[in-house]
Amino acid sequence: MVKYFLLYFSITYCPFYFKLGKPTPLHSLPTVKWQQKWEIDYSNSSIGFSVKNFNIFNVKGKFTDYSSNIETHGPEFTDPKITLSIKVESIDTNIKARDRHLRSDEFFNVEQYSTIKFSSNSFKQVNNQEYQMEGDLTIKDVTRSTLLEVKQIKITDDFIDWSISGELDRRDFNLIFTGDSSNRDGLVGDLVKLKITIRLRRV
């Protein structure tokens, strides 16, 4: 009687252990990876950049409309997969006429290339608070591998604060003044410096 009870209990409450009436070894059962999702706290984040103008002073700007999808394996920020999408229309250099010009087909060409995209490929720890993140950056019709330096500023049970920096050559992404503005291209520096602050909250 006890034997039949144990058999009934095993079939009823442990069905995953049987396959076509034959027991499956425990080491063959699939391993479930627990994923942690994160979201950007926009009130404590910014995506900024600076570039030389006339080789004298820096023009600073930012993008105000962006979204992300961030997942890690487990509660700690390890092995992350990060994708970021930035609306080029949201560029803001604090001068409206300049912003309209940058959006035009003489530079970003927002009507044809409306989004800047980044997708991480690797995230490596350098020391206790510094990391290097490499990923594919797409601007206009060009995708290039880009390295970003990440510094962890603060971490709590609820969120992580990052300071991210990087550099890119605008010409590598076909960010060149054309048309009536082509004579201005030499007045703007090629090197664009990225300055990003991000607060990530656990979902």
pLDDT tens digits for range 64-90:
999 999 998 866 677 789 999 999 999
And the tokens for 171?
């010409």
Q: Which of 168, 111, 88, 175 is nearest to 136 (CA)?
A: 168
The pLDDT value given to residue 5: 47
The H or E element that residue 99 is part of is helix 96-103
pLDDT tens digits for range 103-149:
999 999 999 999 999 999 999 999 989 999 999 999 999 999 999 99
pTM score of the predicted model: 0.80
Q: Which of 66, 73, 78, 47 is nearest to 155 (CA)?
A: 78
Contact predicate 60/194, CB 8 Å: no
What are the structural domains of the chain?
A: 36-202 (2.40.128.110)
Provide the percentage of residues in the chain whose pLDDT is more than 90: 65
Give the integer Cα–Cα distance in Å for 170 and 134. 18
